[in-house]
Amino acid sequence: MDRLLARLERTFLGRLAIERLAWILTVGMGATFVLVTLHPELTGMLVLDPTLALHQPWRFVTNLFLPPTTSMFWVLFSLYFFWLTGTAIEQTWGAFKFNVFYFVGALGTTAAAFFLDQPVTNVWLNTSVLFAFATLFPDFTILLFFIIPIRIKWLALAMAVFLGYRAMHDSMAAHIAMAAAFANYFLFFSGHLLALARGQRMVMRQAVRRASFLTDPARDVAIASRSCAICGAKQSEGADIRVCSCAKCGGKPRDLCLEHARNH
Amino acid letter, residue 119: P
Give the integer Cα–Cα distance in Å for 80 and 78: 6
C-alpha atoms less than 13 angstroms from C-alpha of 167 in its C-beta half-sphere: 11
Give the integer Cα–Cα distance in Å for 44 and 46: 6
- Pair 184, 109: CB distance under 8 Å: no
> For the segment 185-218, what is each residue's pLDDT rounded down to a tens digit?
888 887 776 766 666 555 556 555 665 555 555 5
Is the model more confident about 260 or about 81? 81
Question: What's the pLDDT at 228?
Answer: 79
CA distances from 237 to 104, 241, 256 (A): 70, 11, 14
Which residues, at least 6 apart from 107, have a Cβ–Cβ distance to it below 8 Å? none
Residue 253 has pLDDT above 60, yes or no: yes
Among 57-71, 88-102, 111-125, 171-185, name the one with the lowest average pLDDT.
171-185
The pTM of this model reads 0.68
**Res. 102 pLDDT band, cuts 50 70 90:** very high
